[in-house]
Structure 1
Amino acid sequence: MEAPRSPVLISSDFCAYHLQTCLKLRDPFAGKAIHTLVIKAGLHLSVYLMNNLMNFYAKTGSVSDAHRLFDEMPVRTCFSWNTILSAYAKRGQFDMAIRVFNEIPERDSVSWTAMIVGYNHMGRFSNAVRMFVDMIWNRVPLTQFTVTNILASCAAIEGLGIGRKIHSFVVKFGLSSYVSVANSLINMYAKSGDPMTAKVVFDSMRSKDILTLNAMISLHMQCSRFDLAVSLFEQMTERNIVSWNAIIAGYNQHRCDVEALTVFSNMLKDSSLKPDNFTLASVLSACANLEKLQLGKQIHAHIIRNNFDTSVEVGNALISMYANSGGVEIARKILVDSRTSDLNVIAFTALLDGYLKLGDISPARKIFDSLRNRDVIAWTAMIVGYAQNGLYNDALELFRSMIREGPKPNNYTLAAMLGVSSTLASLDHGKQIHASALRSGEVSSVSVSNGLITMYAKAGCINAAKQVFNLIQLNKFTVSWTSMIIALAQHGLGEEAIELFETMLTLGIKPDQITYVGVLSACTHAGLVEKGKSYYNLMRNIHKIEPTSSHYACMIDLFGRAGLLQEAFDFIETMPIEPDVIAWGSFLSSCKVHKNVDLAKVAAERLLLIEPDNSGAYTALANLYSACRNWDDAAKIRKSMKDRGVKKEQGFSWIQIQNKVHLFAAEDGFHPQKDAIYEMMEKIWNEIKKMGFIPDTEAVLHDLEEEVKERILLHHSEKLAIAFGLISTPENTTLRIMKNLRVCNDCHSAIKFISKLVGREIIVRDATRFHHFKNGMCSCRDYW
């Protein structure tokens, strides 16, 4: 017969032990069963047990049950008050929390810390800081738990000033020896922009744990001190996933994506570690940046095989990877099939970018239109997509919609729109964007200010470009100086561009490759051959910048325009890289200007070897033969063009009047006001001939009668555009004409006379530079 079991002794310790077990298991039903047992055993008057029960209810989310117990307690200890206070604070019920806090008979460090923790938990970091200040004011002793939490608040708001004061309290209260406190200090200084002090704290620590090392690795990676981060990483005897993530994410954030993927590969060799969502988001981002579609697919397969419960960040990263690497349809399928409803505008914008990258505007616009909450990134992506695909009017229209109904444009949006205005040479649109930048406060942005310099310069307003540059002189980056130097060079102000470059060097601002393209171009347009040669040597020998094809083209142009054709040819022959189309095209153009048939033949042959259907090579050679009155060879070249199906690029000129662009070709008979335009041009032609203008009939490269040649010259596209501008604008209005080809000798001479005749400034932008015609003179000084 089985012996009777001994009765279980129900004691306060027994119940408290099992309550702790229920709390660890997060089992509310078992906890309530213990509560029932406590009542049956008559232990409900035990303050110790009531505190344990209240703590259990508070931490399992039953705050109302906790508060009911609190109200029933015969005696309330500090623990009782702090438990119910912490329960309300952590749930964000601050009205109740503050009421309890104010009723506590003797508030201790735990009471104050409970409020700080609650504010932190709900993201109300400024409230947490104010609570801490009150705590200090009331001379309440600090604990390490208080300090770690308030330092987390400072890190969140990047409050370096208050963080430093808290550091002084840490030292005063002797808490700096706690590893958790030191770790919090490092984190606060790192996130608040003071890496040097973070390093001082790190070096002063006697004991360091894995959290300390991870924090310093993250800090070094954040500051691009990769060697220090990797050295510390390699010294670690124990690494966790956070350690690896710090290295991988750091490389990825600084676009060192090959290194990020290499570290990820090494991590996978450690069988004890598995990547988490942070790892996957970083490596997928690296694949997207490198456009490594196959590797991205392998990582996606790894996610599926291992049944990862992917986060929103990983979902967005997957879509970005596919969209950016050419797998845009896969990205779209992931987005459509995703069960994660939280995939946000980042995913849609990534898909939008993917279609735009492929030039698929229609599906991109559908995605854009389907977005419910379009942020500034989505708007900007669509605007940039239109611009990159040459749909400038669509970009302008979308920008207007953004102003009316969308978010406030940021500096990237405005810079993109300034690029559109620059391409269209639309001064009116550019001025409107300038006004938007002023209203939004983005005008001081480097990208916007540089965009404004370029826009005004390309619209022919070099003085406005100078004003923008002068306004940002306290914040001039290399790119700002470069933009201004290039602008001055394009407008024929070579001496000013060189003076600005010299000032730049004096101030210790280091020029880059593009700066030297600008200054060499300035020397070219000003005919300063020796100056150009000295800057070329300065670039190579002092600034250690290896010349690119653009620099070589500038030097060829420098020699060629000055008539030093043999020197230009010798330079081409000694180039360490194969001359490209631009190099030979520039040399051929110089040969045509200086009528050197032999070298022109060589240049044309070399150019056509690289690009057999280059119409410019055929046209330049044919025109050169014509200029030398070698009509037979000119005819042969033109026949060769016809046989090969090569079409000569047609010359166009255009002018913008009241936001509308008017396009003209030579002998244009399609404009609605053609009769008035031709009548005006006839009148001008006769008047400037009376002033001494002699038509340059050699500019007509065909064997025709002189009278016929003169009629052809009369109706060149830029002259028609000027005539239309004169009949369409008030007196004294500056005319701005754009042309896709180089202005011919006759038009250049005629426009000088016209500017004097009508008393207006006429600005012409041709394929190579700006010409400012005023009072019978041109800014290029007839050197172009």
Structure 2
Amino acid sequence: MKPFLASLLESSLHSFPKLSSTHCHAIKHGYITDVYISNRVLDSYVKSDFLGHAHNLFDEMPHRDTVSWNTMISGYTSSGKLNNAWCLFTGMRRSGSDADGYSFSRLLKGVASAKRFDLGEQVHSLVIKGGYESNVYVGSALVDMYAKCERVEDAFEAFREISEANSVSWNALIGGFVQVRDVETAFWLFGCMEMMMMDDGTFAPLLTLLDDPLLCNLLKEVHGKVLMLGLEKEITICNAMVRSYADCGSVSDAKRVFDGLGGSKDLITWNSMLAGFSKLEQKDSAFELFIEMLRTRNEIDVYTYTSIISTCCGEEHQVFGRSLHCLVIKKGLKQVTSVSNALISMYIQFPTCAMNDALSLFESLEAKDLVSWNSVLTGLSQKGPSEDAVKFFTYLRSLNTEVDDYAFSAVLRSCSDLATLQLGQQVHALAIKSSFESNEFVASSLILMYSKCGVIQNARKCFEKISSTHSTVVWNAMILGYAQHGSGQVSLSLFSQMCNQNVKLDHVTFTAVLTACSHSGLVQEGLKLLRLMEPVYKIQPRMEHYAAAVDLLGRAGLVKEAKELIESMPLSPDPMVLKTFLGVCRACGEIEMATQVANHLLEMEPDDHFTYVSLSHMYSDAKKWEEKASVKKVMKERGVKKVPGWSWIEIRNEVCAFNAEDRSHPLCEEIYLMVEDLTQEMKWFETDNEFDEQASLLDVNHS
């Protein structure tokens, strides 16, 4: 009869009606009193995740053995219910049942998942008391527990106690050092491990550490071992390798691994490749891959949509981005918070008029999370007017909604743009109160705020408090702060310290340093850095680096050299580079060259007012009135209007904004009267200076 019940239980898995029927059958025929049969029914309930019914049966069992207790403990730990498992383990010991290796290993698994180091230590003491520390299964569970609790030294000691370590033990130990990002120790252990023991559990965690261009050669060595062991078709390894190659900047190698999987790719493979294209700004490749996913009817999840939506970040991608929005609505994902958040961020990065679309989407989203609020706050901070971002931050706090480091960072950047020192100091105080002052993003925003408000000493104090964390964004902010203050040598000194202290450099670092060189006239130093970026620092120059270098040469009056640099660029110059060069030509009085650049810019961006205004001012400076009139005429014909500039002033903790000919302020009459008085005073001052100068010349001539 027992084999018949066993077959019934196997066929009843995951079907409660069948399972309960089999349970009733066992009760009816009196088999439920048999511990073996009860344990089989109990195990079936647990495997089917019917823990409530399993616990009822467990309580009704007249006889329990170690297997009964272990089955329940295993069920609760697998379901993430450590407290229930711990109560059962305590009850097991009180009932006189002896815990065995399986009991300890299953309980330690739950402790590791919950990262309850305090409970783990108690279990470890019981393991030693029971003499199980050399047991490979218990030992591996101890290593895994300490590793996941980030106690890697304790994990290493537990590993040494195992009599014969297996691949599970090695993988758990290596995984611990991977978790704390100790690259050197993780790969030292990898080198000590026998190749026959290596599997996907070994390689997949290690590959997550290889996310820097400087580690690309090491990644290729690991790839070689994967090929030697014949694991190149293991999907978890390949997925991790696609992501690592992309993180190292080698998208061609990532695509080679991706293509090598053929038809065995899973959704993670496709998403990893899509994320790689997106991260490396190969937008066209990302779009093509997404369309291929749609055509081949591959499964597409929320991560797929958020990845491809985040790729649409420029004016040229508006049509594709809005099409994706339509697809999201069609698929019924509009109220999925993460997808809507990605759409909000996408619209924010479109031209200013799309900010209304972002706000509309935000208001229609039912389940807003912190990312939703932060996305809008960041958008208002970036697109302005900046005082709206400050008001939104105040509104956010009034709702008792959690305010995190991103919110503080965004509002501090708005304070920087407004140059409102008093308001920035108040936000700084609030950040200290909320324990966010030491956060790298908040600290970098504080540095920029104080720098733009002219208080470089306070910026340096903020930097000194956090510089030891080796945060790239903080160092970049401080370098840029000194650059804005014309202290190029200090910026270069900080750059040298970054290199000496192994602080990770990125493209923003070089933008900041080149800007510092530009503002301080350090031409040779800046050009040398640009030349060494790719061969020495493994960072490929971007358009912003070339724009900074053009500005560097232009400020030194080296127009010809700036032109030669643009012509030698590996990529066609974008509007940012050309606008910088146009400014250089205007400053140096190179009207003919400026006209050529302007014509090229007008072809690229016919609706942008910058080029028209720059040309108009340049013709005014040269007293070429006909040419200026011609520019004005073209602007009018094309409907291009100059975007008015804004000015802000902080009065009694309130930010007031003004633009040209603005009369919206309630005190505008008094303001304009004051402006007229100040203008008249400046004219008198200028007249007095001219009179004094002429009098001095007469005195000299008379002498």
Asked if TM exceeds 0.5, the reply is yes
Distance 1:186 1:100, change over 3 A: same
Whole-angstrom distance in 1 between the partners of 2:635 and 2:68: 94
Q: Is the 8 A contact 1:22 1:31 kept in 2?
A: no
- Number of the residue aligned with 1:721: none
Measured in 2, the distance between the counterparts of 1:114 and 1:475 equals: 37
**Partner of residue 656, structure 2:** 661
Match of residue 159 from structure 2: 167
Cα distance in 1 between the residues matched to 2:692 and 2:593: 27
SS in 2 for 1:365: helix
Q: Deviations over 1:99-128 (max 9, x none)?
A: 531333241324742761573597464465
2:427 to 430, 433, 437: 433
Partner of 1:350, secondary structure, is helix
Which residues of 2 match residues 362-377 of structure 1 at below 5 A? 362-377=356-371
- Which whole-Å CA distance do the structure 1 matches of 2:683 and 2:347 have between them? 52
1:726 alignment partner in structure 2: none
Name the CA shift for 1:329/1:136 in 2 (closer, same or farther; >3 Å). Answer: same
Partner residue of 1:672 out of 667, 670, 688: 670
1:514 aligns with 2:511: yes
**Counterparts of 2:210 and 2:123, CA distance in 1:** 30
Shift of 1:689: 7.3
Aligned-pair distance for 1:218? 3.5
Change (3 A) 1:385 1:82: closer
Rounded Cα–Cα distance in structure 2 between residues aligned with 1:620 and 1:395: 35
- Equivalent-residue separation in structure 1 for 2:115 and 2:648 (angstroms): 57
Among candidates 209, 216, 219, match of residue 203 of structure 2: 216
Determine whether 1:228 maps to 2:225.
no
8 A contact 2:13–2:47 mirrored in 1: no
Structure 1 residues 433 and 337: CA distance shift in structure 2, 3 A: same
How far the C-alpha of 1:227 sits from its partner, in A, is 1.1
Could you tell me which amino acid in structure 2 is paired with residue 141 of structure 1? Y
8 Å Cα contact 2:46/2:75 also seen in 1: yes
Determine whether 1:539 maps to 2:529.
Answer: yes
8 Å contact 1:584–1:606 — kept in the other structure?
A: no
State the alpha-carbon separation in 1 of the partners of residues 662 and 55 from structure 2. 89
Change beyond 3 A, Cα 1:331–1:140: farther
- The equivalent residue for 1:190 is 178
In structure 1, give the amino acid aligned to 2:275: S
Q: Which amino acid aligns with 2:123?
A: F
Letter in 1 for 2:240: A
Inter-CA distance 696–516: structure 2 relative to 1 (3 Å threshold): farther
Select 1:119's aligned residue among 106, 110, 114: 110
State the partner residue of 2:120.
129
Q: 1:693 to 1:489 in 2, by over 3 A?
A: farther
Contact 1:57 1:63 in 2 (8 A): yes
Which of these residues, 294, 297, 308, is aligned with residue 300 of structure 1?
294
Aligned residues: 630
In the aligned structure 1, how far is the partner of 2:632 from the partner of 2:526?
Answer: 41
1:548 is matched with 546
Rounded to whole Å, the distance in 2 between the matches of 1:120 and 1:23 is 31
Instruction: Confirm whether residue 452 of structure 1 aligns to residue 446 of structure 2.
Output: yes
Aligned counterparts, 1:52-91, within 5 A: 52=40, 54-56=42-44, 59-60=47-48, 61=50, 62-64=53-55, 66-67=57-58, 70-71=61-62, 73=63, 77-83=65-71, 86=74
Q: CA deviation at 1:584?
A: 4.5
Change (3 A) 1:298 1:518: closer
| Percentage of matched positions with identical amino acids | 15
Contact 1:516–1:551 (CA under 8 A) maintained in structure 2: no
Indicate how the Cα distance of structure 1 residues 337 and 534 shifts in structure 2: closer, same or farther if over 3 A, else same. Answer: closer
Once the two structures are superposed, residues 154-180 of structure 1 have per-residue CA deviations (whole angstroms, 9 ceiling, x without a partner) of 44433324323322332xxx031x233
Alpha-carbon separation, structure 2, partners of 1:250 and 1:231: 14
Q: For 1:49 and 1:513, locate their aligned partners in 2 and report how far apart those are by CA, in whole Å.
A: 70
- C-alpha separation between the residues in 2 aligned to 1:108 and 1:98? 8
State the alpha-carbon separation in 2 of the partners of residues 299 and 467 from structure 1: 51
Query: Which of 331, 335, 341 in structure 2 is aligned with 1:349?
Result: 341
Residues of 2 paired with 1:108 and 1:370: CA distance? 55
Q: Is the 8 A contact 2:207 2:219 kept in 1?
A: yes
> Is 1:443–2:437 an aligned residue pair?
yes
Give the counterpart letter for 2:159 in structure 1. H
Residue type at the aligned position of 2:268: F
Residue 328 of structure 1 deviates from its aligned partner by 3.9
Deviation digits for residues 601-631 of structure 1, max 9, x if unmatched? 4445445444566333343343344xxxxxx
- Equivalent runs, 1:237-316 vs 2, <5 Å: 237-238=230-231, 239-251=233-245, 259-269=253-263, 273=264, 275-286=265-276, 288-289=278-279, 290-291=282-283, 292-303=286-297, 308=299, 314-316=301-303
How far residue 322 of structure 1 moved from its aligned partner, in angstroms, is 4.4
CA RMSD of aligned residues (A): 4.4
AA of the residue aligned to 2:343: L
Tell me the SS of whatever aligns to 1:222: coil
Q: Is the contact between residue 552 and residue 583 of structure 1 (CA under 8 Å) also seen in structure 2?
A: yes
Q: Cα 1:261–1:116, aligned 2, differ >3 Å: closer, same or farther?
A: same
The alpha-carbon distance between structure 1 residues 549 and 241, as it changes in their structure 2 partners (threshold 3 A), is: closer
- 3-state SS, counterpart of residue 433 of structure 1: helix
- Tell me, what secondary structure is at the counterpart of 1:661? strand
Superposition pairs for residues 723-734 of structure 1, below 5 Å? none
1:629-708 correspondence to structure 2 within 5 Å: 634-645=624-635, 654=647, 656-658=649-651, 659-661=654-656, 663=658, 671-679=669-677, 682=680, 693-694=689-690
Q: Which has the larger share of helix?
A: 2
Report deviation, 1:348: 2.0
CA distance in structure 1 between the partners assigned to 2:77 and 2:554 by the alignment: 74
1:299, distance to aligned residue in structure 2 (A): 0.9
Q: Relative to 1, partners in 2 of residues 1:350 and 1:540: Cα closer, same or farther, differing over 3 Å?
A: closer
Q: Check the 8 A contact 2:246/2:277 in 1, yes or no.
A: no
- Paired residue for 1:739? none
Q: Structure 1 residues 685 and 651, CA, compared in 2 at 3 Å: closer, same or farther?
A: farther
Residue 94 of structure 2 aligns with which residue?
103
For 2:368 and 2:468, locate their aligned partners in 1 and report how far apart those are by CA, in whole Å. Answer: 35
Moved more, 605-614 or 25-34: 25-34
Q: What is the CA distance between 1:657 and its match in structure 2?
A: 3.8
SS of 2:690's equivalent in the other structure is coil
CA shift in 2, pair 1:508/1:331, >3 Å: closer
SS in structure 1 opposite 2:454? coil
- For the 8 Å contact 2:146–2:152, the answer to whether it is kept is yes
Instruction: Please give the alpha-carbon distance, in whole angstroms, between the structure 2 residues aligned to 1:588 and 1:437.
Output: 43
Q: Rate the CA distance shift 1:235–1:436 in 2: closer, same or farther, 3 A.
A: farther
1:319/1:334 contact within 8 Å kept = no
Change (3 A) 1:457 1:199: closer
Q: Distance in 1 between matches of 2:523 and 2:69?
A: 83
Letter in 2 for 1:147: G
Q: After the TM superposition, which residues 467-616 of structure 1 pair with which residues of structure 2 at under 5 Å, given as runs?
A: 467-475=461-469, 483-484=477-478, 486-491=480-485, 494=486, 496-499=487-490, 501-502=492-493, 504-505=495-496, 508=499, 513-524=510-521, 532-536=522-526, 538-539=528-529, 548-559=546-557, 568-572=558-562, 574-575=564-565, 577=567, 580-591=578-589, 600-611=590-601, 614-616=612-614
Give SS of 2:656's match: strand
Higher relative contact order (CA 8 A, sep 6+): 1
| TM-score after normalising by structure 2 | 0.75
User: Is 2:550–2:580's contact at 8 Å kept on the other side of the alignment?
Assistant: no
| Structure-to-structure mapping, 1:333-344, within 5 angstroms | 333=326, 335-336=328-329, 338=331, 344=336
Counterpart in 2 of 1:623? 621
Can you list the C-alpha shifts for 1:720-740, whole angstroms capped at 9, x where unaligned? xxxxxxxxxxxxxxxxxxxxx
Cα displacement string for residues 649-673 of structure 1 (whole angstroms, at most 9, x for unaligned residues): 7997845141343647699996434
Matching residue's letter, 1:234: L
Counterpart amino acid of 1:281?
A: N
Give how far 1:384 is off: 2.2
- The yes-or-no answer on 1:321 pairing with 2:312 is no
Q: 1:664 to 1:302 in 2, by over 3 A?
A: closer
Corresponding residue SS for 1:185 = helix
When residues 113 and 621 of structure 1 are mapped into structure 2, their CA distance, relative to the original with a 3 A threshold, is: same
Equivalent residue number for residue 605 of structure 2: none
